[in-house]
A and B are shown apart, each in its own frame.
Chain A
Amino acid sequence: MPETTTLTPTQAGPPADPVAARRPARRGSATRRTRRIAVLFILPAAAYVVIFHLFPLAYGLYLSFTNYDPQSRSGPQPVGISNYTKILTDPVFLSSLAVTGKYVLYVLPGAVGLALVLALLVNRSRRGIGFFRTALYVPHVVSLTAVSMVWLWLYSPQGWFNQILGRFGAEPKQFLLESSSALGAVAVMRIWKALGGNMVLLLAGLQSISRELYEAAAVDGAGRWAQFRYVTLPGLRGMLTYVVVTDIVYLAQSFGEIYVLTRGGPVDSTTTVNFLIYKQAFQFNDMGTASAMGFVLFALISAVAFVSLRQMMRTRS
């Protein structure tokens, strides 16, 4: 059926000013061209995100409802929500959640608090301060695996820590082999590793606070502590929020240092969720359960990050 067009009175007659009438049409085609170019520019990045981020995420979600074993030729078979019900009652998974939470709590205060102290110390214009800033940042640029290997030796019976203990006549301590000390030992290494990165971010935050605010506070009689409490902390809150939230996200996904230092032991005392996912997926070929664990972890990290963000932003407002 042919399309019919009804002309409105304004469209019916010739325009009073032909130039003015052409202007919107030209503008419209220019806008379309701009849009087309914009889409072409966005397309590679969008395709990358869809193919390498969103699709694997969706595929992982699908796998979490299957019993997929890559060794098997039958492919993924749907099993409903049984993977989720199984892991939520599995003491090993629940223990790994607790270990992950404990690990975040062990590392976060040290990694942020000490980084803030260091940032305050290097936030001065003294001779040679650049050297200290660089030296403190070095652990951040070294790979986590390499750092973990170094600390594996430091904690060994012949390592530095035991040599120091020996100087004081103490017996060698098996830092990574006792369930009471293993997670703490890994956390100390992770704090050391995280300090540099956090310090640089907080230093950037400190340098964005106007000097005038400190001068005004000093004129009002504020001492060092009052200046820190009422000028520095409020001025840093945005950056602190960013540091805390990203640290939570990264720490809750810890794997590399656990793999190198303890392999989840002793007695599962350092088995984080990510380490358990690795075992489930690549030692037991149980991709369905591993995917379900991944999505539970994802949900928990999102929830904790969201609550932290809300809480810190609310305090700010």
Chain B
Amino acid sequence: MNIRRTLTAVTAIGLSAVLAACGTGSPSGSGGNSGPKELTVWFPGNSQVEIDLVTKTLVPKFEQQTGSKVTVTYVDWPNLSPKLTTAFASGTTPDVWGHGTAAAAGFAANDRVLALDDRINALADKDDFGGLLDQGVVDGKHYLMPLSGTGTLLVYRKDLLQGAGVDPATLTSWESVYDAARKLKTKARSGMLIATSPIADEQSFIALLRSASGKMLSDDGKTAEFNSPAGVQALTYMVNLYQGDGAVAAGVSDDYLSRPPAQQPLALGTAAITQFGPSQLLQLVKAKPDLADKLGVLAPPTLGGQPGKAYGGMGTGLFISKDSKNQDLAWKFLEYMASPEVSNQYAEVIGSLPVRQSARSSAYVTKNPLLTTFLAAQPAYIGNPNVPAWVQVRDVLSRYLQQALAGKVAPKDALDKAAQEVKPLLEGS
């Protein structure tokens, strides 16, 4: 009898513990281990220079200024969503976390993040962020404070273009870039590579789609519009780079952007033109200084005569948890990170575009002429739609883009099927 009672008690205690651990989380239980002057902050990424800057310089300075204690955790990008998911489930969400804009609508729809409108409107210099603040808007409310800026443009090897008799000044449209790529292609070299790995393929697609004056979704975000004639034109362009007699690129779906700088196709000479972001370009130049004078950047090319667009804008932004017990301190941290001096220092270390317009004249920008075109292209940068189901919509679209890029499905069919499959996701948004 005693044994049975003991067993029952132990099992009950064990199950209670597990049930508590598996709870769905409540506002009162969140906020990590923050006390009155404590903040928990998750930054995405694993760059050692960034980690050193943030944890050894920026955060200690903030702690000194505010008399607070900030616990910073760096979470590798691929692990960020799984860790946040478990944090939501267990009620241990950090006070502040960094993320891309793609997740903003999902967080907002589930009431997980704090709207920052009042605080942003009170900023004396909010116009200094240009249009970046608008990329964190969901249903008319701001949720993100920009931490870094980015853009994806075509970067070329001047020596290879010269060797093939191509004048970079003539490369103003996607059509002219394709013609040049045909001349540049050899057995061992792709004429041009664009990002076609899953997820990156969607970013390449939206740049071409918007350049052809197409739209990803309807204005209310409830209907897919990417299967329009503009969408078919954009995807056909991408497919023609890799498939058929006129193919100018090898290695469809190759995630070349994730390779180390010295292994980049531009560094190896296995491609003459590739899509790049500013930080990847600066890393490449750092790894291969002899290439610095041999690289050039193209402004967003036009498609079908329409003004060119490029994927870019806000790279990473900071959210404040709705459950944070220290929202005022969290906001001070966001303000601090986005302040002119700190944000410029941060941009310089990670090699991103500065989030402030005033930083265009900073030493960091002026000593890196390759950044000039990236900064000049800022008005042409476009982001993804902010709808709650965006991550799933993007995954479905990417799956069909991959099928088209592999030559298994015609572009029109791929986009129509994707539009059909995302319909319930968008309607439920």
Whether a CB of chain A sits under 8 angstroms from the CB of B187 is yes
Interchain nearest-CB distance for B269 vs A (Å): 12
The stretch from B103-111, B146-154, B166-174, B309-317 touching chain A is B103-111
Chain B 96-114: CB-based contact to A (< 8 A → 1; otherwise 0): 0000000000110011100
Check if B10 sits within 8 Å of A43, measured CB to CB.
yes
The stretch from A137-145, A250-258, A279-287 touching chain B is A279-287
Check if B251 sits within 8 Å of A174, measured CB to CB.
yes
Which residues from B are CB-within-8-Å of A282? 81-82, 85
Point out the residue from A74, A268, A281 that lies within 8 Å of B399, measured CB to CB.
A268
Whether a CB of chain B sits under 8 angstroms from the CB of A71 is yes
Which residues from B are CB-within-8-Å of A204? none
Check if A267 sits within 8 Å of B10, measured CB to CB.
no
Interchain nearest-CB distance for A192 vs B (Å): 23
Name the CB-closest residue of B to A266.
B253
Supposing A171-B187, A266-B402, A268-B399 touch, asked if A177 and B253 sit within 8 A by C-beta, the answer is: yes
In the complex, which residues 260-311 of chain A have their Cβ closer than 8 Å to any Cβ of chain B?
263-268, 279, 281-285
Name the CB-closest residue of B to A158.
B263
Instruction: State A284–B396 Cα separation when bound (angstroms).
Output: 11
Instruction: State A179–B391 Cα separation when bound (angstroms).
Output: 24
In the complex, which residues 199-233 of chain A have their Cβ closer than 8 Å to any Cβ of chain B?
none
Check if B24 sits within 8 Å of A157, measured CB to CB.
no
Instruction: State A171–B186 Cα separation when bound (angstroms).
Output: 12
Interchain nearest-CB distance for B130 vs A (Å): 30
Which residues from A are CB-within-8-Å of B15? 50-51, 55
Whether a CB of chain B sits under 8 angstroms from the CB of A110 is no
Which residues from B are CB-within-8-Å of A265? 197-198, 253, 402
Check if A266 sits within 8 Å of B406, measured CB to CB.
yes
Name the CB-closest residue of A to B85.
A70
Which residues from B are CB-within-8-Å of A36? 2-3
In the complex, which residues 125-183 of chain A have their Cβ closer than 8 Å to any Cβ of chain B?
156-158, 171-172, 174, 177, 179
Name the CB-closest residue of A to B79.
A282
Interchain nearest-CB distance for B201 vs A (Å): 10
Instruction: State A72–B389 Cα separation when bound (angstroms).
Output: 13
Check if B106 sits within 8 Å of A71, measured CB to CB.
yes
Name the CB-closest residue of B to A71.
B110
Whether a CB of chain B sits under 8 angstroms from the CB of A69 is yes
Point out the residue from A47, A71, A264, A281 that lies within 8 Å of B14, measured CB to CB.
A47
What 4 new A-B contacts, CB under 8 Å, besides A39-B7, A51-B18, A267-B403? A171-B187, A264-B198, A267-B406, A281-B85
12 A-B contact pairs sorted by A residue (CB < 8 Å): A39-B3, A43-B7, A51-B17, A55-B15, A71-B85, A73-B111, A172-B250, A265-B402, A267-B403, A267-B406, A282-B85, A284-B395
**Which residues of B does A touch, CB under 8 Å?**
2-3, 6-7, 10-11, 14-15, 17-18, 22, 24-26, 81-82, 85-86, 88-89, 106-107, 110-112, 187, 197-198, 250-254, 263, 268, 270, 391-392, 395, 399, 402-403, 406, 408
